Amino acid sequence: MTRIDPAAIGRRGFVLASLAAGACAAAGVRPSGSVGGSGNFADRLTGAISPVHDPCIIRQGDTYHLFCTGHVGEGAGVLPWRVSTDLIHWSAHGSVFDGLPGWAQDEVPGTRGIWAPDISYSDGRYHLYYSLSTFGKNRSAIALVTTPTLDTADPAFGWRDEGVVLRSTPQDDYNAIDANHVVDAEGRVWLAFGSFWGGLQIVPLDPATGKPPAGAKPRTIARRPMPDAIEAPFIIRRGDFYYLFASFDFCCRGANSTYYTVVGRAAKADGPYVDREGRSMLKGGGMVILRADRSAGDRFVGPGHCAVLQDSDRDYIVYHAYDTQRDGVPTLRIHPLDWSTDGWPTVV
């Protein structure tokens, strides 16, 4: 498999893990389609489904391509790649990178992985955004590689390094990780991102470069009160609305993770987003869509960092959760989504 030279070219915000674990402040009832139940779509998944953290997904032709976080020294590579033809059976497909880019340590000292990829297709190329960071700090960077095809047998295949897209420093009130590429109904391109600090952000992109134009400033679209445990935005357009999915509370603690997933919607990609009860996501609002609790007997806990696949026949929510029966290993989970008559998603 062709890979980009790591000397020419990280993972998501495992941020603020030292904060107290008792920040589970979400309102809402347990969603239908329990993520810890048996006999559902997610329980049929097999093959290379763990460890998978921070998955993103896209379909080219008859093949689904899934990318996730990876770290130096892991056998799957620093940005693992998996494929499936049916969303059920998953096979390892190598990795995008053999190692960290040569410039990574200068950009983000101490970085040891490639975090939170995001895959999308626009202007004839697949755009793979990824993050470089270190745990609990916001000296971070989002970078980009592109390719005209994901078919590694195609002579046209090859990742092209597009460089750093966005940076954050300790002087910024945001964290430049967890990117999500969005194209709105008018053809305008955006990048949603963020983890903890000032919350989730959005910034316009130049479609030609996939980067913010000169002078563009990020704007907050969702936040929570201290300890500000919000991250991993993912925006889709459906009908007249844009839906913002986000992860609340704490990942990365294995079976003790308290992560869960919420959603709000807006008439425009850059907000303002509100939940089903009309609560602003700028004030901690969000309708719970994925939640699991070990004390309730759920096997897979801490469901979060989702992507939404808008496939030809229906929508699917793709995420990781921690398997309490396997020492809390992060595991790929997928559920179909149903939509209510008033336009809100439900996990099936």
> Which residues are the active-site residues?
54, 231
Establish whether 73 is an annotated binding residue.
no
Helices within 237-330 (DSSP H only): none
Is 190 annotated as contributing to ligand binding?
Answer: no
Residues 6+ apart with CB under 8 A from 239: 343
Work out whether the CA dihedral 69, 75, 77, 78 comes out positive or negative: positive
Question: Could you identify the residue written with the tokens 């590689």?
Answer: 145
Report d(CA 263, CA 282) in Å as an integer.
Answer: 12
Contact (CB, 8 A) for 182 and 192:
yes
Would you say 67 is a known binding-site residue?
no
Q: Is residue 194 marked as binding?
A: no
Sheet with strand 230-238: strands edge to edge: 230-238, 241-248, 260-266, 287-290
Q: Which of 302, 296, 261, 290 is nearest to 34 (CA)?
A: 290
25 is in an annotated binding site: no
Q: Is 195 annotated as a binding residue?
A: yes
Is 246 marked within a binding site? no
Ramachandran class of 95: left when φ > 0, alpha when ψ lies in -120 to 50, beta otherwise: beta
Nearest-CA neighbor of 270 among 170, 169, 189, 171? 189
Comparing CA positions, the residue from 344, 196, 151, 189 lying closest to residue 269 is 189
38 annotated binding-site participant: no
Token look-up 């000032």 returns 198
SS3 content of the chain, % helix, strand, coil (to 5): 5, 45, 50
Structure tokens at 42: 């997610």
The answer to whether 120 is a known ligand-binding residue is: no
- b/e per residue 91-129 (b: at least 16 CB within 10 A): eebbbbbebbbebbeebbeebbbbbbbbbbbeeebbbbb
Q: Output Rg (C-alpha) for the chain, integer angstroms.
A: 18
Q: Which residues are part of a known binding site for substrate? A: 54, 136, 175-178, 195-197
Q: Which residues are part of a known binding site? A: 54, 136, 175-178, 195-197
